[in-house]
Amino acid sequence: MRRLACLLLLLPAAALADERRSGSTYMSAETQAMQKDDTANPGMLWVQDGAALWSRKPAADKKACADCHGDAAASMKGVAARYPAFDAEQGRPVDLATRINLCREKHQQAAPFAAESESLLGLSAWLGLQSRGLPISPDPDPRSEPFREAGRRLYEQRMGQLNFACAQCHDDNAGKRLAGSVIPQAHPTGYPIYRLEWQGMGSLQRRLRNCMTGVRAEPFAYGAPEMVELELFLMSRAAGMTVETPGVRP
Partner 1 sequence: MARTLINVPASAKRGEVIEIKTLIQHPMETGFRPGANGRILARDIITKFACTYNGEEVFAAELFPATAANPFLAFTTVASESGTFRFTWTGDNGFKQTETATISVT
Partner 2 sequence: MTNATRRDALGLGAGLAAFLSFRPARATTAAMSEAIRDFAGTVKRQEGGITLDLPPLVENGNVVPLTVSVDSPMTAESFVKRIALFAEKNPQPHIGTYHLNPRSGRASVSSRIRLADSQAITAIAEMSDGSFRQTSAEVIVTLAACVEG
Provide the annotated active-site residues: 211
- CA distances to 90, 117, 154, 176 from 135, rounded to whole Å, are 26, 27, 25, 26
Interaction of residue 32 with partner 2, rule CB under 8 A: no
- Interacting residues with ligand HEC between 122 and 141 (CB under 6 A): 123, 127
Closest CA to 232 of 146, 156, 171, 168: 146
209 binds, among ligand HEC, partner 1, partner 2, none (CB under 5 to 8 A by kind): partner 2
Q: Which one of 105, 181, 218, 221 is in contact with ligand HEC (CB under 6 A)?
A: 181
Query: What's the CA gap between 109 and 124, in Å, rounded?
Result: 19
- Interacting residues with partner 2 between 141 and 180 (CB under 8 A): 162, 164, 173, 176-180
- Interacting residues with partner 1 between 37 and 56 (CB under 8 A): 38-40, 42, 44-46, 48-49
- Interacting residues with partner 2 between 204 and 243 (CB under 8 A): 206, 209-216, 219
Q: Which amino acid is at 214?
A: G
Interaction of residue 115 with partner 2, rule CB under 8 A: no
Interaction of residue 75 with partner 1, rule CB under 8 A: no
Minimum distance of partner 2 from residue 101's CB (angstroms): 21
Encoded one letter per residue, x for contact with partner 1 by CB under 8 A and - for no contact, window 164-203 reads: -----------------------------------xx---
Nearer to partner 1, 84 or 247 (CB): 247
Interaction of residue 55 with partner 2, rule CB under 8 A: no
Query: What's the CA gap between 178 and 85, in Å, rounded?
Result: 33
- CA distances to 145, 162, 204, 244 from 125, rounded to whole Å, are 26, 33, 11, 10
Closest CA to 174 of 4, 21, 3: 21
Nearer to ligand HEC, 36 or 106 (CB): 106
213 binds, among partner 2, ligand HEC, partner 1, none (CB under 5 to 8 A by kind): partner 2
The site for partner 2 (CB under 8 A) is made up of 27-31, 33-34, 162, 164, 173, 176-181, 183, 196-199, 206, 209-216, 219, 250
Q: Which residues bind partner 1 (CB under 8 A)?
A: 38-40, 42, 44-46, 48-49, 199-200
